Structure 1
Amino acid sequence: MKEKFIKTLLLFLIGFVGFSQVKVSGTVLDSNQESVPFANVVFVGSTIGTVSDENGKFYLEADENYNQIEISFLGFENKILDIKSRAFNLKIELKETSAQLKEVVIYSGKVKKKGNPAIAILKKIWAKKRQNGVYLFDQYQYEKYEKLEFDMNNIDSLLMNRKIFNGMEFIFNSIDTSRITGKAFLPIFINESVYKSYGKNKGGKKLREDLVANKNSGFNSNQNVIAFIKDLYVDYNIYDSYIKIFDKSFVSPISKASGVSTYNYVLTDSAYIDNKWCYNILYYPRRKSELTFKGDFWVNDTTFAVKEINMQATRSANINWVKDIYIEQEFNVLNDSVFLLKRDYMLSDFSINKKDKSKGLYGKRTTMYNNYNFDSIKKDHFYSKEIDVYDEKIYNKKDDYWAASRQEKLNKNEKGIYKMLDTLTKVPKFKRIYNLISILGSGYIEFNNFDYGPIYSTIGKNDVEGWRVRVGGRTYIDGNEPWRIQGYTAYGFKDQQFKYGISGKWMVNPKNRLTFGGGNRRDIEQIGVSLTTTNDVLGRSFASSAVFASGDNSKLTSINLSSAYMSIEPKKNLELKLGASYRTLKSASPNTFNLDYWVDKTNGIKKSELAQTEVDVSLKYTPNRKTIGYGVERNEVSSTYSTLFLNYTKGIKGGGLDSDFSYDKIQLYYRQPILIGGFGRMFATVEAGKTFGEVPLGLLNVVPGNQSYFTIENTYALLDYYEFITDQYASVHLEHNFNGRLFSRLPLLRKLNLREIVTVKGVWGDISNENIALNASTNINYVAPKNGYYEYGVGIGNIFKVFRLDFTWRGSYKNIPGADNFAIKGAFGFHF
């Protein structure tokens, strides 16, 4: 028994010291035992260091054996401390000093700009930033290796002994320790990719990146999870003024536009790095709660190119679900003058809260670059070509290929991820946990080749159907199948009627995504909740549910829609579509609402049901949209791309289906996200359309109202359904989210991490006398916003991290009887 214990202890000690030679953590304090934030901590005799956080805490490790650390901060005497190979939870007290650097004057913890040598160096970096790296060359190419990894962190004995892990204890054999935070973690996902990248600077910038190889473990069959992971990590350039992370704009420490007004800079050291004399500049934010970093960088003394940089997001930054963000970049020197990116590392700590002991997930991306080439000239047409990213050869590379292509070798635990996860997926308990998470994320319950759902639409209520129950599902094999069938049936307990919808689609050519589809739906819905309309068979707005509605919600329509279409993508993110449809419309509640129109007004003959055949041609262009998967349906990686939609519809009268009207309709929809540096993001939406010919209410353009208690995109918060009717219209929606830029300046609100939102919405419209005369409805007034309707509002977002509150005022048409001139609405959502 004793011998077994000794062997176990020895194995533990060997494993514990095998990862790093020295590890040290602690807190930097002043003589009053107050924490010293942003103090510089380095191993003596090295350039390996870190910066303490807002609470003065730090962690540092190295593969070599150092026995001293040096702690420094302006206004305090430098302190050198002897350490052991394992020195944790140190309390280091710094002594204040009256001797200050001549070049820098300290006032209220902030470094003044005048006479600061760090600022002088920074200005030279700005002047030279376009003369470094690949910007020096007309064309360039390189090889890139990328490794994405997700890990459970803060692993302790309490977690390991929980019942949820019964039967899965073997996973803890892969525990490792983070060199950044010093906390134990368990790898659960890894994805490796190899790319060949090509770029052009002269004559218009162009970029092409070819995926050569990909290897995946963990959630390889769940496209939603992979899409989420890919969306988290986008490329950035430290020389840009702002660095986009998780859809937020962090001020770059190298920013020419905002760096000096956002950060304090201190010149702390100089040394040779790879035979290049470099200066070390420490930086930290001037204010809390802003999207900023703290850290340091080394910059060459002649080219003023950054050689190394590390950036750690401040804990107080207004970002949700992320406790820590750490970035480091390392550059190689070419021909003694050109600095090229060699390694880019990013670690994110996802957690419910920002407490040190809270458990969560590490998301890590390591990107390596090599084999730069500047002599291979490519013609413009080369950059417009795209490889087939779904070629099976990319995903079936042998182990010897990966051994040769990894620019950074996998460590022991990373190698074990593939084997560990293969074993884990065979454990029944893990399958149950995974399935539960998948259901909550996708809204579907998975069976063999079939998904039941969406579960969130199972129960509803409205004035016509009363309580409503809906069941449905879709075919689902692996997410990349070329065809899909989906459908549902619903029953209203008040009207005692069944409804249904069924559709199918088949992609016959994956290369240009030539797809055929069609279906039929008979249901009740609230029409007129969108200016730009489509013939999506299974589309149904939740606006018909009184669970979310206020006021009169009886203006519902019974619809029977059949449609068929063909679509093709001749170019990436450009979709052309040709479709045909036949629909009938009638009121779902004739006693309170009707769609009547005159057939013969002189003889008092009118009709309450509409039958219409349409043929439509549309173009949809979504530049910079990223998707994942290659089946008939794909998942979007990001929602921050622009969208242009053009549609022409021809209404055909007569024919074998007794269609009622002949008309022409054109529509335009354009949505553009606008990133305004450190002042947040704006979304601008423009819609315009016109109908030529005489048509009744069911075919006119209704300005979308919002009778719910919730904020709904592209609707007007203070309009009721059918308040404005048009046959030609133009609308503009502007919404700007400052991401807490203003609230972060207010001490009483700073810690709440609230976010300011400003909205302005306006619409102009008109309706012809002929269409007004066609109307025989007894309860709909054909009023168009000829003088322009607008409303404006302010909102407070990020309340308890998940809620948004909007206050909206009506700017025109205030004197309409029964008009709402002010409203408070809210919305739930999960945002970083």
Structure 2
Amino acid sequence: MGNVALAQVTTVNGTVTDGKSGKPISSVSVLFTGTNYGVTTDEEGHFTIAANASYHKITITHMGYSSRTLDIKPAQEQQVNVVLQQNSQQLNEVRVVSAKKKKYSNKNNPAVELIRQVIAHKKQNQPESYKHIEYRQYERMVFSLSNLSDQFKNRRIFKNYQFLFREQDSTNIGGKNLLPIYMEEKLSNNFYRKSPFAKKQVIEASKQVTYDEKFVDNQGLTTYFNRMYQDINIYDNNISLLSNQLLSPISDNAPNLYKFFITDTLKEQSPQLIELSFTPRNTNNMLFEGKIYITMDGNFAVQNALLTVNKNINLNFVREMEATLSFEKNPDGRFHLSQSDLKVEFAINKDKGGGVFGERVVTLKNYKINAPRPDEIYNGPALVTAPNAATKDDAYWVNNRPDTLDANTAGIYKNIDSLQTIPSFRRTMDIATLVLAGYKSFGWFEVGPVNTFYSFNPVEGFRPRLGGRTTTALSKRYYFETYGAYGVNDEKFKYFLSTTYSINNKSIYSFPQHYVRASFQHDTKIPGQELQFVQESSLLLSFKRGNNDQWLYNDLFKLDYVHEYQNHFSYAFGFKKWGQSPAGALHFDNLLPDGTLNPVNRINTTELSLELRYAPKEKFYQGKLYRTPIPDKYPIFTMRYNQGVKALFGGEYNYQNVTANVTKRFYLSNYGFTDVSAEGGYLFGKVPFPLLDIHRANQSYAFQLQSFNLMNFQEFVSDRYASITMDHNFNGYIFNKIPLLKKLKLREVVNFKALWGGIRAENDPQNDPSLLRFPTNADGVPTTYALTNGAYIEGSVGISNIFKILRVDMVKRFTYLSNPDAPEWGARVFIKFDF
């Protein structure tokens, strides 16, 4: 709002509304005509503009609306309500009429020359060009089931839920009927310092809808939504949206990928504005379309922007998207972002049916530039939450929100709380948790996961299993987990039991974790199989290619201490007493000094371990079993140290094993993104082959990103190794240019994996017969090898986004093809939901 002078002034109060819907319009520019002095309307369309001078006119402008200039009474206070009519000129209605259709070209194109000026002035218009910035930020995010028909709303099942529904203008994104399911608000103070660099957000107040934690990870839900709805900085070359990156219309490369048109000139504005419309050259690419308004005062700054996406874009589940950005003028004549409003409607069917509508509104107030603060303001963590942030009462929010919530929106918190007390809703959530997470709750105990109740393998045959764990309904300090299984073929029982003590009195399945756990497991294991986001007893893993009959019986006692921090650094200490016995076709044999073959029934180790992990700005959703990562550009570093101790609790070997891993996603703008993982390890000491690094192999038909998909289980072992994995997703960059393919919205992927390794002479059983011999098949042919002939290499090309959820890769193995049962080619499938 403008500052009201204490002397007699010209003051105008009013409200700006839409001429069609009658609804208030936010972020409308209101100026005293012929001056640079102006304000913008708030969320309710209200404005107050005042100055110690005699002005006779005000000018009202807003993107997508016809501008208006109105007479006012000078040196008086008055009320003026303004109705704006939508500008009928839409981007897809721009026509060029001539005797011969002119091909679009950047050459001698005034629109392109203008955008090049905008690009040339980006650096000076970036907020980071100031030495210091300070502002107060309010953000609100609301998610609703959308586009619901009256028939759906009036179904019998919703008889008791009518209080939840909201109505809006049917022409708005989301349709007429909405059913809110989530809302959150934050108020924060933000500080930026250019040198030495510091950026800090202090959350003063926060409020969100919370569900019963046995159904939903509320913290993860908030993280997931905020990752999808990130801040939009139009001056960045790439704008993150829904876990993808879209090229900004004012990126350095924009003239080569966008078409630009000058569609209006707003001369009554001060400064004058040029309305610049843009559209992708290829409407399937990850690009925006819309309009930006450029100041013609020499700064070539963006004053307003409307960003949408073309209906043909290769972006999954997005029915409509609209981002509105508004900028206010600083005292030095430059502009800063004052409000952004991002609306997205998701749906399986883009043309009809219900969906999910989400909106995030961000308002910046009290913007200060080059007003330095003491160093202690900038020091410390980048994100700080006040201890009492979540306890602010309704009166606080009414007094501190920059806008006023309508009754329907303000009632969402109370309505969702009421919803969760209705028995039918709780039964529905219980069923959904069973289907999606695999657990059925019985209060203090939940049974699952259901996908492990039935499986089979060559050693055990049919393997029924039943298990479960306690919940916070029993205790927030103590947790117990167990399962029992039985192998019909080997006629052996398997079991697991663990007890966990939460040191921070929080659920051990919530972040940050801080607990001590003791566990014992007597079960089977495939050497070299390391799984992500799926359990070894899953029914889906029962189906495997090739020979899969060399297994282990494990007796494993573990004692773990895990401590995570808010900055996503963690460390873990571990103690492990491990007994391994061969199962199935696997044998442990060595040679006695007289050359006699000696079967070894069991090897025993006692191990101490330390793991350090740092994942700056990591985001994830905590499910019932696993943390599902939300991909981002930040790297993840992991280091592990394992120390085998001979003679401690029966340990038979001394050794040290060091492993380091780093993973990172690289965004390559319009060319997609690449996930890279590099790992290396070194084992010191003399050990038998089961204690060497058995490289991650995959004999299932599912494509696994972190395993070698054409390597057989236990095929390669090393005491020193290095590996790299690269997985690149082109996001349809190539297929979008092929007429018959671009309508299918398919995406191209390529994958490359390489592994270098070796075994020192002291760990090679050919040099030392006392070591366990490498396994062989039924014909006596070795099936386990060292990497003595260079790197193991495999690669794949694939098609993803099949039916929006399926990826199929054709994988080729390039080296060690002469090994027994070594496949050269294979097709693998991967199920993943991507936007």
TM-score tier by shorter-chain length is 0.7 to 0.9
* RMSD of aligned alpha carbons: 3.3
CA drift at 1:781: 4.3
8 Å contact kept, 1:190–1:217: yes
User: SS where residue 704 of structure 1 aligns?
Assistant: coil
Q: Deviations over 1:47-90 (max 9, x none)?
A: 44289xxxxxxxxxxx964568533669967xxxxxxxxxxxxx
Give yes or no for the alignment of 1:401 onto 2:419: no
8 Å contact kept, 1:606–1:776: no
Match of 2:442 in 1: 447
1:237-636 alignment to 2 at 5 Å? Answer: 237-257=233-253, 259-271=254-266, 275-302=270-297, 303-335=299-331, 337-355=333-351, 357-374=352-369, 375-379=371-375, 382-385=378-381, 389=385, 391=387, 393-477=388-472, 481=476, 484-509=479-504, 514-530=514-530, 541=536, 547-569=542-564, 572-589=567-584, 592-597=585-590, 602=595, 604-626=597-619
TM-score relative to the length of structure 2: 0.83
Q: Deviations over 1:88-139 (max 9, x none)?
A: xxxxxxxx7339xxxxx9635xx32122222222122112222125323212
User: SS where residue 753 of structure 1 aligns?
Assistant: coil
Match of 2:787 in 1: 785
The runs of 5 or more residues in structure 2 that have no matched partner are: 1-15, 23-58, 67-80, 506-510, 766-770, 777-781
User: SS where residue 123 of structure 1 aligns?
Assistant: helix
Match of 1:653 in 2: 646
User: SS where residue 49 of structure 1 aligns?
Assistant: coil
8 Å contact kept, 1:199–1:206: yes
User: SS where residue 731 of structure 1 aligns?
Assistant: strand
Match of 1:672 in 2: 664
CA drift at 1:539: 9.3
Q: Deviations over 1:372-401 (max 9, x none)?
A: 23313343884333676483x211101111
Distance 1:770 1:527 in 2: 22
Match of 1:828 in 2: 831
Distance 1:715 1:708 in 2: 11
Q: What amino acid is the match of 2:740?
A: L
Q: What amino acid is the match of 1:653?
A: K
Distance 1:75 1:539, change over 3 A: closer
8 Å contact kept, 1:333–1:339: yes
Q: What amino acid is the match of 1:676?
A: L
Give yes or no for the alignment of 1:22 onto 2:35: no
Match of 2:814 in 1: 811
CA drift at 1:444: 2.3
Q: What amino acid is the match of 1:681?
A: F
The count of aligned residue pairs is: 747
Distance 1:687 1:273, change over 3 A: farther
Q: Deviations over 1:671-728 (max 9, x none)?
A: 1111111111111111111212221122111222221111012211221112222121
8 Å contact kept, 1:75–1:97: no
CA drift at 1:479: 12
Distance 1:106 1:280, change over 3 A: farther
Give yes or no for the alignment of 1:721 onto 2:721: no
Distance 1:449 1:633 in 2: 20
Distance 2:637 2:671 in 1: 25
8 Å contact kept, 2:199–2:382: no
CA drift at 1:326: 1.1
Match of 1:233 in 2: 229
Which shifted more, 131-140 or 599-608? 599-608
Distance 1:376 1:215 in 2: 30
Distance 2:474 2:739 in 1: 49
Q: What amino acid is the match of 1:320?
A: N
Distance 1:513 1:72 in 2: 52
Distance 1:390 1:698 in 2: 51
Match of 1:776 in 2: 773
Give yes or no for the alignment of 1:794 onto 2:789: no
CA drift at 1:821: 0.9
Choose the corresponding residue for 1:210, options 196, 202, 205. 202
Distance 1:331 1:274, change over 3 A: farther
Distance 1:199 1:67 in 2: 39
8 Å contact kept, 2:21–2:169: no
Distance 1:513 1:778 in 2: 40
CA drift at 1:244: 1.3
Distance 1:719 1:479, change over 3 A: farther
Distance 1:616 1:191 in 2: 41
1:92-111 alignment to 2 at 5 Å? Answer: 97-98=97-98, 107-108=102-103, 111=104
Q: What amino acid is the match of 1:113?
A: N
8 Å contact kept, 2:590–2:773: yes
8 Å contact kept, 1:282–1:296: yes
Q: What amino acid is the match of 2:488?
A: F
8 Å contact kept, 1:519–1:562: yes
Q: Deviations over 1:728-757 (max 9, x none)?
A: 111111111111111001001001111111
Distance 1:404 1:699 in 2: 64
CA drift at 1:145: 0.8
Distance 1:639 1:481 in 2: 31
Match of 1:740 in 2: 732
Distance 1:381 1:583, change over 3 A: farther
CA drift at 1:782: 4.4
Q: What amino acid is the match of 2:716?
A: F
User: SS where residue 588 of structure 1 aligns?
Assistant: strand
8 Å contact kept, 1:544–1:556: no
The runs of 5 or more residues in structure 1 that have no matched partner are: 1-17, 25-43, 52-62, 78-95, 100-104
Distance 1:74 1:386 in 2: 43
Distance 2:92 2:650 in 1: 85
Which shifted more, 810-819 or 338-347? 810-819
Distance 1:182 1:349 in 2: 6
Choose the corresponding residue for 2:88, options 57, 65, 70. 70
8 Å contact kept, 1:148–1:192: yes
Choose the corresponding residue for 2:146, options 141, 144, 153. 153
Distance 1:381 1:486, change over 3 A: farther
Match of 1:89 in 2: none
Q: What amino acid is the match of 1:617?
A: L
Distance 2:754 2:302 in 1: 48
Distance 1:549 1:509 in 2: 42
Match of 2:692 in 1: 700
User: SS where residue 702 of structure 2 aligns?
Assistant: coil
Q: What amino acid is the match of 1:324?
A: E
User: SS where residue 240 of structure 2 aligns?
Assistant: strand
8 Å contact kept, 1:479–1:631: no
Choose the corresponding residue for 1:49, options 47, 50, 64. 64
CA drift at 1:611: 0.8
Q: What amino acid is the match of 1:547?
A: S
TM-score relative to the length of structure 1: 0.83
